[in-house]
Amino acid sequence: MTVYSRDDLEGFEPRFDTLVAIDSDGCVFDTMEVKQKQFFHGRIVAFWDLVAIEPEVRRVAEFVNLYSRTRGSNRFVALLRVFDLLHEWPEVVASGVELPARGALRAYVESGVPLGNPSLQAAIERTGDPELARVLAWSLAINADIAAQMPAIPPFPGVRESLARVVGASDLIVVSQTPEAALLAEWQQHGIAGFVRLIAGQELGTKAEHLRLALSGRYVPDRVLMIGDSLNDLAAARAVGASFYPIAPGREETSWRRFLADAYSRFLAGAYAGEYERGLTGEFEALLPAEPPWLRQ
């Protein structure tokens, strides 16, 4: 199994004058709901002994990871956001349940290191912090659960055809905050790994860092297109001056049909950025609220 490094990103050699970068979970594969609801959220309840407020924990975690502007965040960033929202929910605080500590996790998330199990392990070895150790155990348990129990979920309709079209005219890479091992397994299992030249997971940094390393000195920014299903993907594109094509949550098949029928051709022709892109991103952002509904009640 191929393992990619930051050297692969830094030494990336273009074959075309355009680069297409694509997210994986929720964008290529319809795995977001299954992974979050069946694996991530239940493990939060178990590891932090939150059974007494499990409905509230799941509601918060679904909002953070699936139905809001933080959809698609790195798992540690998302976990901190879940903890913060639990602390801000008056009814949860009034329940008297001991809520998770956040100090060590916040310091790790804001430390500037690539957020993943290896850097978290290093932080634990450096600090000996028991809360970080609990976070790592939670993360490793999720990976083990997904590896052992995750059903094989094929790519969205239209993905395979789109990848086949792109590789004939653009360099194509995966940029994701999913652990690399899981990415490699999914892309190889479904026979689409051969379409992409590089697969970058959370171990290689943020999506913006992936893009910056891959395109540095190789592509004109407006000849780079990021395809994603979250505002993090949009932010990564904006950070490097690239264009963004949204795979709208709940409208994935329609999004891929539009990409294949119209959007990619516009990108190649230099007619994507501008009014057309703004229309798509405006529709996309309207689907992802910022404020939790329970705080508006």
Q: Which of 2-6, 37-41, 82-86 has the lowest mean pLDDT?
A: 2-6
At residue 259, the pLDDT reads 98
Q: 275-286 and 231-240 are packed helices; what angle lies between their axes, rounded to 10 degrees?
A: 150
50 alpha carbon, distance to own chain's centre: 26
Tell me phi and psi for residue 273, to 5 degrees.
-65, 150
Name the least confident of 2-11, 12-21, 212-221.
2-11
pLDDT tens for each residue of 135-181: 999 999 999 999 899 888 999 999 999 999 999 999 999 999 888 88
Reported as a single tens digit per residue, the pLDDT across 228-250 is 999 999 999 999 999 999 999 98
pLDDT of residue 293: 87
**What's the CATH number of domain 6-30+156-286, 3.20.20.80, 3.30.365.10, 3.40.190.150, 3.40.50.1000?**
3.40.50.1000
Q: Report the amino acid identity of residue 195.
A: F
Torsion of Cα atoms, 234 then 85 then 108 then 178, to 10°: -50
Tokens representing 124 are 């634990």
pLDDT more than 70, % of the chain: 99
Parse the chain into domains and list their residue ranges: 6-30+156-286, 32-149
Q: What is the pLDDT of residues 111-141, one digit of tens each?
A: 999 899 999 999 999 999 999 999 999 999 9
Q: What is the pLDDT of residues 37-59, one digit of tens each?
A: 999 999 999 999 999 999 999 99
Whether residue 297 is predicted with pLDDT greater than 60 in this model: the reply is no
Is 132 within 8 Å of 123 (Cβ atoms)? yes
Mean pLDDT of the chain: 94
Q: Which of 261, 262, 258, 263 is nearest to 243 (CA)?
A: 263
- What pLDDT does 296 receive? 67
The DSSP 8-state label assigned to residue 110 in this structure reads: T
Q: What is the pLDDT of residue 36?
A: 93
Tell me the pTM: 0.82
Q: Is the pLDDT of residue 1 over 60?
A: no
SS3 13: coil
Closest CA to 244 of 175, 165, 186, 154: 175
